[in-house]
């Protein structure tokens, strides 16, 4: 299992960015023994230019604590973030796995929720966070400034834990552009392409699958077919590896079926296009 870090941030203007990782007293030395890659992508949000940067840091040791700091250069000025810490995952296949899972969190109303999440995460029992769709309400609102506010709000937890995501209906604007640019998930290029908003990963004895419920509610059904084919292949491989990962858990934003007999807007979309019979 390859162990690494994907770290992303947004900034206004056109800065030069860098990241320092290692021991808190010697971050500038970058003596972590890994390899690093930087990618940048710019987009206009309203009348402002947002630069999204992402660093890929590979070959980190498993089950180890690292410290890191991000810096951005504007002209002659250099701005540095706080120093953050994170712990790489263990490769123990028998470990107890705990993810903190939630969805539908706004940048304003979510502040009380965030405080509760921080308290829950402080016990050190969780390996990762999974935000199951609907971010900020909405990431693209006010020229993208709501998305900036939301990322600032979740920074205390997203800077320390793997922040895994799936897209929700509130990310659909502009072909999910803000979601695809602001987040990066394993096994997908960045910015995340519309036809690859699904992925899987293992933690201990659990195989996690993140799928896009939104492909069933758009006009282009090519994405439905692509996700179906990918999911079938992924589940086939997962079933062949049940000795190592006996648990398979799938997550997506919308419910797969509804029990009400009127205004059922989910069951036909999923069961009519997804279920394999025979």
61-71 pLDDT per residue, tens: 899 999 988 88
Task: Band the pLDDT of 15: cuts 50, 70, 90.
Answer: low
How do the domains of the chain map onto residue ranges?
Answer: 1-88
The CATH number corresponding to 1-88 among 2.40.30.10, 3.30.1600.10, 2.60.40.10, 3.50.30.60 equals 2.60.40.10
Query: In terms of pLDDT, which residue wins out, 219 or 129?
Result: 129
What are the pLDDT digits (tens) for 192-243? 998 999 999 999 999 999 999 999 888 888 998 999 999 999 999 999 999 9
Q: How many CA atoms does the CB half-sphere of 163 hold within 13 Å?
A: 20
207 token code pair: 């195989």
Strand 99-102 to strand 5-12: parallel, antiparallel, or no bridges (unpaired)? Answer: unpaired
Q: What is the pLDDT of residues 130-171, one digit of tens each?
A: 999 999 999 999 988 899 999 999 999 999 999 999 999 999
User: Residue 239 is encoded by which pair of tokens?
Assistant: 């079933």
The distance from CA 90 to its chain's CA centroid, rounded to whole angstroms, is 19
Count other C-beta atoms under 10 Å from residue 264's C-beta.
12
| Residue 34 banded pLDDT, cuts 50, 70, 90 | very low
Q: What are the residue ranges of helices labelled H in the chain? A: 111-121, 145-158, 173-182, 222-240, 267-273
């Amino acid at each position: 299992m390859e162990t690494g870090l994907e770290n992303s941030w947004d900034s206004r203007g056109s800065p030069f960015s860098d990241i320092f990782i290692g021991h808190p007293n010697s971050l500038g030395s970058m003596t972590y023994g890994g390899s690093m890659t930087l990618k940048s992508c710019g987009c206009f949000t309203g009348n402002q230019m947002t630069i999204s940067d992402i660093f890929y840091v590979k070959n980190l040791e498993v089950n180890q604590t690292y410290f890191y700091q991000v810096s951005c250069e504007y002209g002659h000025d250099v701005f540095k973030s706080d120093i953050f810490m994170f712990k790489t995952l263990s490769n123990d296949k028998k470990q107890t796995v705990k993810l903190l899972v939630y969805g539908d969190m706004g940048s304003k109303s979510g502040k009380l929720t965030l405080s509760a999440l921080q308290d829950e995460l402080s016990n050190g029992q969780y390996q990762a966070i999974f935000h199951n769709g609907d971010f900020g309400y909405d990431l693209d609102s006010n020229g993208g400034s709501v998305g900036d506010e939301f990322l600032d709000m979740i920074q205390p937890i997203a800077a320390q834990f793997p922040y895994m995501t799936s897209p929700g209906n509130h990310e659909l604007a502009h072909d999910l552009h803000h979601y695809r640019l602001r987040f990066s998930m394993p096994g997908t290029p960045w910015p995340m392409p519309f036809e690859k908003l699904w992925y899987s990963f293992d933690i201990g004895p659990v195989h996690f699958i993140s799928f896009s419920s939104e492909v069933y509610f758009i006009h282009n059904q090519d994405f439905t077919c692509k996700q179906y084919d990918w999911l079938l292949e992924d589940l086939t491989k997962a079933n062949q590896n049940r000795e190592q990962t006996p648990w398979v858990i799938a997550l997506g934003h919308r419910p797969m079926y509804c029990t009400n007999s009127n205004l059922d807007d989910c069951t036909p979309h999923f069961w009519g296009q997804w279920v394999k019979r025979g």
